Amino acid sequence: MTRMQARCINKEARPRISESGSVADYSIMANKSDEPTIRGVMALLTTVSDRLQCLEVKMNIIESIEKRMENFEKDIKRLWVVHEDRSKKVEERVSRVEDKVEGADIHVAELAERVQELEKERDTLRDNVSYLQSQSMRNNSVFTSVPESNGNGNETPETTEVKLLQHLVSAFKLTEEVATSSLKECIDPQECRYMAK
């Protein structure tokens, strides 16, 4: 006999469950020397059997819930692993995009500096071209009706300058200061040309 069975037999007062499901006290019957009938014992056993079946059903439900919880925990763990993997991939992608954006920002800054340099160069070239055009126009001044001192066209620059100064004063009625300043605008007086008639 097991301990549990021994405890159940040695109890003096055992509750009795009637067919209606209520519990009756056997100690009253024991005092009256009434023994339970087979019918009463069968009813009690049927009730106990029904209750045990209910307990088995409930235990099966609990086991089913436990299995579901285990499956749920496994699913949660799987989802957690998937979530961690995806979050790592997203972090890597974000990091790569940030690197590309930083590289693009640096590249844009370099391009902006280069554009500024090119604009400065363009402005400088434009100024140089304008200057060269104006110098070319000045250097290509043609004077007519000024006689040359020698017939081969090889007179000295000083002689040419003196003749041009005299021509500006006499032909255009300019003062000597204005005529001198006009001649000084030529970068190189040798470049100023005149034509004799």
CA distance 51 to 15: 15
Report pLDDT for 172: 78
Residue type, 191: E
Question: What does 143-154 look like in DSSP terms, one character per residue?
Answer: E-S---SSTTS-
Mean pLDDT by 10 residues, the chain (197 residues): 42 46 48 76 93 94 96 96 95 94 90 95 92 72 67 73 81 81 58 42
Report pLDDT for 141: 64
pTM for the complete prediction? 0.36
Nearest CA-CA partner of 182 in 121, 123, 141: 141
Per-residue tokens: 91? 């972090």
Report pLDDT for 160: 78
Nearest CA-CA partner of 194 in 120, 125, 144: 144
81-98 exposure pattern, b = at least 16 Cβ within 10 A, e = fewer: eeeeeeeeeeeeeeeeee
Report pLDDT for 190: 47
16 and 44 Cβ atoms separated by less than 8 Å = yes
Report pLDDT for 10: 42
26 and 12 Cβ atoms separated by less than 8 Å = no
Measured distance between the N- and C-terminal CA atoms of the chain, rounded to whole angstroms: 155
Domain ranges of the chain: 140-194
